Structure 1
Amino acid sequence: MDFLDPRKRRAHTIRLMVGYVLVAIAIGLGGWLLLKAASGYGVDPKTGDIVQNGLLFVGSKPGGADIYINDNLQGSQTSARLILPAGNYKLTLKKDGYRTWERSITLNEGSVARYVYPFLFPAEPQPQTIKEYTKAPPLITQSPDRRWLLVQRPTSSSGSITFDEFDAANLTKQPRALVFPSGLLTSLTSSTLKEVEWSTDNKHLLLRHSFKGGNEFIIFNRDIPAESINVNKLFDISPTEVALRDKKIDQLYVFLQNGGQLQIASTANSVVTPLLKDVLAFKPSGTNLISYATGQNAPSGQVIARIWDDSQSYALYTFRVGGSYLVDEAQFQGHWYYVVGSNEDERVNVYKDPLGSLKNPAIGRAVPLLSLNIIGATKVSFSNNTRFIAAEAGQKLAVYDLETQSIYRYTLENPLAGILRWMDGHRLIGASNGSVFVTDYDSTNQQTLVPTNYSGGGFFDPNYEQLFTTAVSKAGVVLQRVDMRAGVDLPR
């Protein structure tokens, strides 16, 4: 028997050991190959060379767009996942009835790139009249959920103020007339309204009312106009600015420029509580966080940007006195970002989680994450998804991408009718040369859509399928809607 023969038994043992070694090598090699594949390594089918790939996700609104890489049609449509060798590419999206979207991209080794934000605009947008007005509406505003569009009627002979409320989610409904209650406003002489901010309940709108002899602030209840509030009358004060605390109407931040007093006012019991003094500008967030600029304890010719957090104030940045101050803050991917600058400065500083350093006695100071170099900035803002920070100075923009840590600086070719606003998380909208103007955050894919006389460009419905704007007509001004769908996406 073989197992009794020492030579055969030894040979069997050797074969087993060799087998074990080969299996171990195969497992190790397989694991190594899987690791490399997971890291993006692959074999170029054309050259046979080993290359390191990247993963590219491509999406669009609407979907079903053809994907081109370096002008070569790919075998899939949006939304899609592509595995490509690392390198620089031109990404192009095309769909019948829509304008082409394209931009240059860089795909790094073993990285994942997501371009799922492209918006395809119709090739030939067709405006349709919703309602005619004798002249341009003095104010157009929209609720945060983009459902309720309020259009102020040109002042009637009686002088009363009325909004037409359009349901952007159901355009077959007739607009509802929202009339300001009599006695709400102090005076209607030379009366103008300006939007300050909406509450997150999508019902209450804070307005600044200017009239001959003064200003006042109104909390307008679009659901029940009779329950609207005159802030000045309720608290018997004349504030310079008012802001909603935590985007609710229960409590307000009331700012009086004389003395720089910032107070908290409760609409429930009409009580006003002092909070800060010597304030020059402020921007609240939530219930216990305020970014503000102050001259208190600042060196001559300078001001200090500070953060008020849960009853404690921390000095963030000292810079020279300006005509207006830019302060803002927002949270992105679990981190807090603060923006500070002025219209006289040559830069706008961006800070990441500065409170951690400011609260640490061993550090006691914050270092900027970066500076957006732009002279004479008049506005700073976060995109709707808070991923991008934009600083504007006329036609000049500086935009920082918090996710990719990229900075874009550019000058728009044509003058703007007003300040750009964020259309969504990736695009800015405004008006230029008498038409609605839209651009991606990095200045690519600039679009001129339809004629408009509205300096803000326009508004969208909740699904971004309808654009609302105004345009001059023979009889006056018309409110229009423009379908953003085309081709096979149009309703049948």
Structure 2
Amino acid sequence: MYLHLKPSCDSRQVNPYWIPPTMDYLDPKKELRHNVILFTGYILLAVAIVMATLILLKLSYGFGLGKDGTVIQNGLVYFSSQPHPASIYVDGQLKTSKTNTRMLLPAGIYDVKLARSGYGDWQRKIELDGGDVEHFDYPFLFPKSLVTTKLQAQPAVPALMTQSPDRRWLIVQQGAINEFVVYDLKNPAKPAAPMALPAGSITKATAGETWQLAEWADDNNHLLLQHGFDGRTEYVMANRSEPALSVNLNTTLAINPAKLTLNNRKYDQYYIYDAATAGLQSVSLKTPVPASLLARVLAYKTYDNDTVLYITDSGAPAGKVLVKLLAGSKTYNIRSLPAGTGYLVDLTTYSGTMYVAVGATSDNRVFIYKDPADQLNRQPDHVAVSSQVLRVEAVNYLKFSDTAQYIMVENGSHFAVYDIENKKAYNYTTNLPLDAPQAHAQWMDGNRLLYVSGAKLAVFDYDNANSRLLMTANSGYLPAFAPDFKFVYSLAPNAAGQLDLDQTALLIPADQ
């Protein structure tokens, strides 16, 4: 049997070029059109990505739109405060954000105020450039009304009051000349612990005796003390936690130095300065035989265990002295200064870079150098170039702040300060005279200075902004701050004319 198939008249048989609808990609024209559409989509997507990236980049660099639609560049400002939160006012307008926070502000000059109920305001004029990132993480709001509590009456005028670098330990001489008490400021409720130096650690005097702090070691346990007696001086390495282990370094090392300082802040390593020969030697408890280091040294400051910044008259022209830096085995000539009787030297590192500050009282200037050794290594035939010069008449004090960001030079109430981070210098005279016997101000922390004026503790920012008079204080003793800065401790006169150790809260009761 045969199956007869009837011929179809379907157009698919009539058109030999017919392509099924599901196979459009075989049509050259449609394939071209499809590719054009696809390519155009890729281009549009790429343009969108580039635009989004540019927008994000502009925002990250502080660009934005002003009220009139123009493109402006903002700056980023971080605000923190102690205590926090504190309200933020910019040009008198209250912002919704509070400390600790950050905000974008158009480039410009602003009056900023931080405020919190019960505290004095912190205020500053700030100048912000487009793209800048500014950090104001140091504002300190002091209570409007201070509450002071008597901790302990002093039976006699203490010969010494000193605080460890970590701010935890406060040592006050009390009783016999070799007796002290130690306060744990991290645990202020704990009773003070006695600290009696062994009888053999100091020489018995026939007349008046004094104590003076030379330097704390980096372990916050040992402190180098200078004992004055019968017109002479000796050095004692006191051990806070085990006072029986305290030693008289003059007798232990068989030395009689005009000055003794720690090497790299280690309690068992020292630099010996002999005023008669102007020689500098190194010695340690492990190696008690002094080794000569430098000759004809008129002033010096050490850093780490192999760096000495010093002033010498050896090889200097007439009427001049030379500033030199000994780093390891290499000596660098920094500059010359007018010869005189008072010299200022200090050095430290900030953000991994060494900074050196040198000056002469008679020159009324202090020169600041950024890594002079590196300058001279790179260009040995050139002289080191100072990055800043601070000017104060008859300058007699120089000190880096706790964070090393600021360098302060001073004579009485006349100050000059250099901000290493922001490369800005400030010159000012405070309207608060220093009470005797203070010779100079001290850094309260990394950003504030303090001294006693009119029997009150005066505190102000590095540039003399936000000056405050706090509680009663005795100018013969430097106040001590708790590690968290919630309390300040001071020796102050009582109604009977004696001294009390007082504790003053830096937080209002509601915040304690």
- Fold-level similarity (TM above 0.5): yes
1:421 aligned residue: 442
Amino acid aligned to 2:225: L
| AA of the residue aligned to 1:242 | L
Alignment of 1:262-273 (within 5 A): 262-273=280-291
Q: Which amino acid in 2 is paired with 1:29? A: M
Match of 2:5 in 1: none
Name which of 466, 475, 478 aligns with 2:500. 478
Partners of 2:29 and 2:264 in 1: CA distance: 86
Question: Aligned equivalents of 1:263 and 1:442: distance in 2?
Answer: 39
Q: Does 1:123 align with 2:144?
A: yes
- Give the structure 2 partner of residue 187 of structure 1: 204
- Which residue does the alignment assign to 2:316? 298
1:178 aligns with 2:195: yes
My pick for the range that moved more, 7-16 or 75-84, is 7-16
Give the deviation of 1:18 after TM superposition: 4.1
Q: Show CA shifts across 1:338-383 (max 9, x none).
A: 0101211121001111112334574353111111122211111111
**Residue 163 (structure 1) aligned to one of 144, 159, 180:** 180
Separation (CA, whole Å) in 2 of partners of 1:213 and 1:457: 25
Does the residue aligned with 1:173 lie in a helix, a strand or coil? Answer: coil
**Alignment equivalent of 1:447, drawn from 450, 461, 468:** 468
Query: Partner of 1:336 in structure 2?
Result: 354
Q: Give 1:240 deviation, angstroms.
A: 0.7
Distance 1:367 1:258 in 2: 34
Q: Deviations over 1:387-444 (max 9, x none)?
A: 1111111111111111111111111111012211111111112111110111111111
Greater shift, 264-273 or 196-205, is seen at 264-273
**In structure 1, distance between residues paired with 2:34 and 2:190:** 88
Query: Partners in 1 of 2:338 and 2:177 — Cα distance?
Result: 45
- CA distances 1:155-200 after superposition (whole Å, capped 9, x unpaired): x5xx543112111111222212222321322233211111111001
Tell me what 1:376 maps to.
394
**2:223 touches 2:267 (CA, 8 Å); kept in 1?**
no
Residue equivalent to 1:430 = 451
CA distance, structure 1, for counterparts of residue 412 and residue 455 of structure 2: 17
Q: Which residue of 2 aligns with 1:287?
A: 305
2:410: which partner in 1? 392
SS of the residue 2:200 aligns to = coil
Whether 2:292 is the aligned partner of 1:274: answer yes
Is the 1:66–1:94 Cα contact (8 Å) retained in structure 2?
yes
Match of 1:265, SS state, is strand
Matches within 5 A, 1:58-97: 58-97=79-118
- Residue by residue over 1:253-295, the C-alpha shift from the partner in whole angstroms, topping out at 9 and shown as x without a partner, is 0001111011112223421111111111111111100111111
State how far apart, in whole Å, the 2-side matches of 1:172 and 1:3 are: 87
Structure 2 residue matching 1:344: 3-state secondary structure: helix
TM-superposition CA deviations, 1:427-468 (whole Å, max 9, x none) = 112111110111111111111001111345511111111100
1:28 partnered with 2:45: no
Determine the C-alpha separation between the residues in 1 that align with 2:28 and 2:300.
92
Structure 1 counterpart SS, 2:149: strand
Question: What letter corresponds to residue 26 of structure 1 in structure 2?
Answer: A
Q: Which amino acid aligns with 2:252?
A: L
Q: Is the 8 A contact 2:280 2:295 kept in 1?
A: yes
Q: Distance in 2 between matches of 1:27 and 1:202?
A: 57
Q: Aligned pair in 2 of structure 1 residues 11, 235: CA closer, same or farther (>3 Å)? A: closer
Instruction: Please identify the structure whose Cα radius of gyration is greater.
Output: 2
Q: TM-score, normalised by structure 2?
A: 0.90
C-alpha distance in 1, partners of 2:53/2:474? 64
Higher alpha-carbon deviation: 363-372 or 13-22: 13-22
Summarize the Cα distance change of 1:487–1:472 in structure 2 as closer, same or farther, 3 Å threshold: closer
Alpha-carbon distance in 1 for matches of 2:509, 2:381: 60
AA of the residue aligned to 2:69? G
**Partners in 2 of 1:308 and 1:4 — Cα distance?**
83
Distance 1:185 1:422 in 2: 31
Letter in 2 for 1:129: K
Contact residue 436 and residue 457 of structure 1 kept, 8 A: no
Query: Could you say if the C-alpha distance between residues 105 and 233 of structure 1 is closer, same or farther in structure 2, counting changes exceeding 3 Å?
Result: same
Instruction: Give the structure-1-normalised TM-score.
Output: 0.94
Percent identity reads 36
CA apart distance, 1:26: 2.6
What runs of 5+ residues in structure 2 fail to find an aligned partner? 1-20
State yes or no: 1:254 paired with 2:277.
Answer: no
1 CA distance for matches of 2:502 and 2:160? 15
CA deviation profile, 1:13-42 (whole Å, cap 9, x unmatched): 554454444333333322222222222111
Aligned counterpart in structure 1 of residue 338 of structure 2, from 288, 303, 320? 320
Distance (Å, rounded) in 1 between the aligned partners of 2:177 and 2:157 = 16
Select the residue among 484, 488, 492 that pairs with 2:510. Answer: 488
Cα distance in 1 between the residues matched to 2:369 and 2:491: 39
CA distance in 2, matches of 1:330, 1:171: 33
Structure 2 CA distance, aligned partners of 1:41 and 1:487? 44
Residue of structure 2 equivalent to 1:49:
70
1:136 aligns with 2:154: no
User: Paired residue for 2:9?
Assistant: none
Partner SS, residue 338 of structure 1: strand
Deviation string 1:203-259 (CA, Å, 9 cap, x unpaired) is: 111111112231111111122222212122122222111001111122110001111
Name 2:10's counterpart in structure 1: none
> In 2, distance between residues paired with 1:468 and 1:259?
42
Give the CA RMSD over aligned residues. 1.9
Report if aligned partners of 1:187, 1:212 keep a CA contact under 8 Å in 2. Answer: no
Question: Retained in 2: the 8 A contact 1:468–1:479?
Answer: yes
SS in 1 for 2:53: helix
